Structure 1
Amino acid sequence: MMHLSSFFTVVVIALVFSFKSAAVDTNLSFVQCLCTYSHNSSSISKVVYTKTNSSYSSILHISIQNLRFASNKTPKPLVIITPQEVFHIQAVIICSQRHGLQVRIRSGGHDFEGLSYVAKVPYVVIDLINFREIEINVKNSTAWVQSGATVGELYYKISEKSKTLGFPAGAFPTVGVGGQFGGGGYGFLLRKYGLAADNVIDAHIIDVEGRLLDREGMGEDLFWAIRGGGGASFGVILAWKIKLVPVPPTVTVLRASRTLEQNATKLVHRWQLVGSKLDEDTGLGILLHRINSSNNGEPTIEALFQATYLGGVDQFIDLMQEKFPELGLKREECAEMSWIESVLFFVGFQRRELLLNRSQTITDSFKAKSDFVRTPIPEVALEGLWQLFYEDGAQGATMIVFPFGGIMDNISESEIPFPHRSGNLYLVQYSVHWLEEGDEVVQKHISWIRRLYSYMEPFVSNSPRAAYANYRDLDIGVNNKGFTSYNQATVWGFKYFKNNFKRLAHVKTKVDPSNFFRNEQSIPSLLPQGHK
């Protein structure tokens, strides 16, 4: 007679093989479906990667920007598709619905929680790396840019055509425009021209029915929703038409380091009163982190002031001496250059061609969070903040603050889903990076940034405590694997979108009532569970 423990072992092995067999069957059926619904089955077969494909791993990892989601424990997609034609994507949408698979959409892979390529349910990834064409129209100051292009590629293409046009997107060149434009997108030109999403004037999207729609076809409600409300909740956005902005032939950049020994605490406190009130041609942010003092080698806090000014150095110095004399700005801390050279300056690139390099070498794991500040943080609270940066878990931690004001004060909170406009002094990004592996290391650093976030609670926005959707943070709330009610989703939704969240849910209900396009923080449908 078989021993009971042996019996259970046999049952478990049988179940494992059963699940594996089911997964294989699903893969095969899904791939067969793709071929059936594609106009050209041979063409789609060239862009489909299952786990048995020798290129699967390299395709998956090429756009992973956070090693926290590159471990063997991280769930992997059943299939990766790198479409080259619109009908490839249409087939994926149809077949994923037919076979009960979720779809994750990846452009650059910079999603802070990896949601563009990780899920805890059976899923496939649409990687838009081949949808990266950019067409610049200098005469009309517009451009069409496909979602798989990077911000760096967009900047490069603009600079090829004009020395006096730019675009107010982010500073990091390997970020995909699909994700950045969908969630907002900001950089040094924010105070002059607003968000990247504020400057989108048309788009192409494939909806849940597989239809390819432009702005007129999708309607103004959906066009409103995808500009800052997270495009992946509503469909696959293929391309964006953007309004390019004028920049002068010469801009000025600033990089000035001040440590605690150089009065950094008082300077940061004073900056809070100044940064959002400066001329809108000025974007003056601060990077805060721990360094070893050059005097005695002991740890201290560095406040690295960084700015782009749309004008010459003399005007910038005069402005700073008038508005922020406490900084003690020196001329040698500034430099004049073209706008595209300023982009290179802040990422440390020596040649413009480096903006075309998509394959950033990942060296670490990280966790990030965000806040909006509406009243200045007292000096004593800043001093308490510095103490947190001396803790062991804070190795590799940074805090970046960037001022609002300027045009942001003049754009309605409901103009697009991004609501964080008038009244905000600045946006905060907290992040902690680490090189070591192991669960204990991960927990040490994540626990630290959560303590930092808790410490900051009395000094930041409240009711709700606001957050930036492009700095995705699952700590603030998540959807269920299955049905999630609107009321449940408001826990995180109001933090990102405030009162715009209800309108986003109405749009979702209209264009994707069965909630096919979903993830841990996707916009929910207002319909009850089980509705088809």
Structure 2
Amino acid sequence: MEFLHSPNRSIKLSLIFPIFVLLFFSCIVSSTNSHDNTFIHCLVNHSQPSHPITSSIFTPSNPTFSSVLEAYIRNLRFNTSTTRKPYLIITALHVSHIQASIICAKKHNLQMKIRSGGHDYEGVSYVAEVPFFILDMFNLRSIDVDIENETAWIQTGAQLGEVYYTINKKSEIHGFPAGVCPTVGVGGHLSGGGYGNMMRKFGLSVDNVIDAQIIDVNGKLLDRKSMGEDLFWAIRGGGGASFGVVLSYKIKLVRIPKRVTVFQIRKTLEQNASDIIYNWQHVAPNIDNDLFIRLIIDVVNVTQNGTQNGAKTIRGSFISLFLGDSKTLVSLMNEKFPSLGLKESDCIETSWLQSVLFWTNIDITKPVEILLDRQPQSLNYLKRKSDYVKKPISKKGLEGIWKKMIELEGAILYFNPYGGKMAEIPSTETPFPHRAGNLWKVQYQANWNVAGKDVADYNINLTRQLHKYMTPFVSKNPREAFLNYKDLDLGINHNGKNSYNEGRVYGVEYFKDNFDRLVKIKTKVDPHNFFRNEQSIPTQPSL
């Protein structure tokens, strides 16, 4: 597969190009400061005539700068008038634009933020407290599916919905195990681990990555063979942005049935939710690997005789994907999880691609082309945190959680069961260490749609309070966390003299014993810590 071919050029175009670059360059630099001019001049100087970088540079003086910046901001907390803005944005169209960005950023000591889909929960790919620019990958999103070999090359600016749609266009019996949100970017998702509702069957997204292309700190384009197995290991779950700019991943497709089954059943405390949830935690991690049952727990109003009386209760929502037909699923559930009371009328048999619509709350009768829409259905202010549970929680423990959630009201819990393939893969196979021994992963959520610091502080505090309350029920020493659910509460790296010690605080929670290996690889491939952010992998401290 070839991403880097040059288009044919006529002699006339080659004569016009230098004049065009001079005119375009003069427009860019006319209203920017001298530091920016020098940086932009460097970018243009390192641009290939066949692939000029000028049309990819957006400065604050450009009328479309704000729209380019905001197009991939997925957390409104980081889209305010007081949020620090980048010096400029480079919307790379070619690998040479990435190479120029790295070379010039090193030369001018500018921090580079690498953005694909913008779904990082803390805005780390497009916000910084120091002068920075954004390298935006959204134009580099080609997807090349090879059904004969059951593989695909995917550039990191692609989004999951586009990946699923493109695979399905080639084959109805192939898919890929990744996230349920179609607008998540491939770059951050895969480099952080990536999971979805097929992980109990096929493992994480990174468990199905077999090659990659990365541009290193020297501007060299490397594949798996030339980068070596250590770096290839690191960028499959250790966060690619700590090691280079990942251009593309080669994935291994998985075989799926033509028809799958989905359902969603909701139960409140008044409908025996406590007992059902208690049973879920024993069943969901141990049931057939073809079945994934997510549990969402939130606070709702009590409804009696069709009316709400103002009282609050807990609701458990059981959302499932089964890689098979509804009859087989109902039979399995009646045997293993009868308390949920699943009936065939609760089930929807559909294609795998349409099941993606179901899981993202889109009407499955809508055309699947909606997965090509790169904008989310809605945007919110949000905060997320994570945990891992190793032992079932007692009924008394659950009742205490319900009481705390009703007290807080705005916080939501997502329980994602492990087991199956997740328990079979060694914790050192990739940087992602949270394998055998974990029953499920917890995601804490708070969403709100009103601007203002007071509102943000209130909602962020909800997740922190619930996270603190859950301490007795979750993993310890370390208290594990998931890199894709980035959480700056775990620690921030200022990338100074104390970088290693600061990085170890959050690094051990994200990576456990794999952290030390990541540090060694980082030190080898990026010894001067060019690729850095608020939670990047640090280099080893100098003696």
TM-score range, shorter chain: over 0.9
Deviation at 1:348, TM superposition (A): 2.7
SS state at 1:125 partner: strand
SS state at 2:138 partner: helix
Residue 459 of structure 1 aligns with which residue? 473
Residue 90 of structure 1 aligns with which residue? 99
Residue 406 of structure 2 aligns with which residue? 390
**Matching of residue 99 in structure 1 with residue 108 in structure 2:** yes
**Matching of residue 440 in structure 1 with residue 449 in structure 2:** no
Residue 490 of structure 2 aligns with which residue? 476
Aligned partners of 2:120 and 2:329: how far apart in 1? 35
**Matching of residue 347 in structure 1 with residue 360 in structure 2:** yes
Deviation at 1:38, TM superposition (A): 1.1
User: How is 1:110-509 mapped onto 2 (pairs within 5 angstroms)?
Assistant: 110-295=119-304, 296-297=307-308, 298-349=311-362, 350-360=366-376, 362-391=378-407, 394-395=409-410, 397-509=411-523
TM-score (norm 1): 0.93
Which consecutive segments of 4 or more residues in structure 1 shift more than 3 A? none
Q: What per-residue deviation string (whole Å, max 9, x for no partner) do you get for residues 171-207 of structure 1?
A: 0000001000001111110000000011000000000
SS state at 2:295 partner: strand
Q: Is the 8 A contact 1:110 1:176 kept in 2?
A: yes
Q: Is the 8 A contact 2:89 2:136 kept in 1?
A: yes
Q: What per-residue deviation string (whole Å, max 9, x for no partner) do you get for residues 14-47 of structure 1?
A: xxxxxxx998221111101000111139821101
Aligned partners of 1:432 and 1:380: how far apart in 2? 25
Deviation at 1:361, TM superposition (A): 5.0
SS state at 2:196 partner: coil
Greater shift in the superposed pair: 482-491 or 519-528: 482-491
Question: What percent identity do the matched residue pairs reach?
Answer: 50
Deviation at 1:394, TM superposition (A): 3.5
In structure 2, give the amino acid aligned to 1:343: V
Aligned partners of 2:325 and 2:61: how far apart in 1? 57
Q: Is the 8 A contact 1:256 1:306 kept in 2?
A: yes
TM-score (norm 2): 0.91
Deviation at 1:487, TM superposition (A): 3.3
Residue 78 of structure 1 aligns with which residue? 87
SS state at 1:277 partner: coil
Aligned partners of 2:296 and 2:137: how far apart in 1? 32
Q: Is the 8 A contact 1:221 1:507 kept in 2?
A: yes
Q: What per-residue deviation string (whole Å, max 9, x for no partner) do you get for residues 474-509 of structure 1?
A: 101111242334233211101000000000000000
SS state at 2:284 partner: helix
Deviation at 1:235, TM superposition (A): 0.3
Q: Is the 8 A contact 1:508 1:524 kept in 2?
A: yes
Q: Is the 8 A contact 1:66 1:362 kept in 2?
A: no
Aligned partners of 2:57 and 2:409: how far apart in 1? 41
RMSD: 1.6
Classify 1:102/1:22 alpha carbon distance in 2 versus 1 (closer, same or farther; 3 Å): farther
Q: What per-residue deviation string (whole Å, max 9, x for no partner) do you get for residues 272-305 of structure 1?
A: 1111100101111111112223324132221110
Q: What per-residue deviation string (whole Å, max 9, x for no partner) do you get for residues 415-466 of structure 1?
A: 0000000010000111101111111111111111111010001100000000
Deviation at 1:518, TM superposition (A): 0.2
Matched residue pairs, number? 507
In structure 2, give the amino acid aligned to 1:26: H
Aligned partners of 2:498 and 2:179: how far apart in 1? 32
Q: Is the 8 A contact 1:253 1:334 kept in 2?
A: yes
Q: What per-residue deviation string (whole Å, max 9, x for no partner) do you get for residues 189-234 of structure 1?
A: 0000000011000000000000000000100000000000000000
Q: What per-residue deviation string (whole Å, max 9, x for no partner) do you get for residues 40-80 of structure 1?
A: 39821101001111111000000000000000111111010
Q: What per-residue deviation string (whole Å, max 9, x for no partner) do you get for residues 137-160 of structure 1?
A: 111110000000000000000110
Residue 510 of structure 1 aligns with which residue? 524
In structure 2, give the amino acid aligned to 1:194: G
In structure 2, give the amino acid aligned to 1:252: T
Q: What per-residue deviation string (whole Å, max 9, x for no partner) do you get for residues 228-253 of structure 1?
A: 00000000000000000000111111
Structure 1 residue runs without a partner (length 5+): 1-20
Aligned partners of 2:239 and 2:379: how far apart in 1? 27
Aligned partners of 1:214 and 1:422: how far apart in 2? 30
SS state at 1:171 partner: coil
Aligned partners of 1:461 and 1:167: how far apart in 2? 29
In structure 2, give the amino acid aligned to 1:313: S
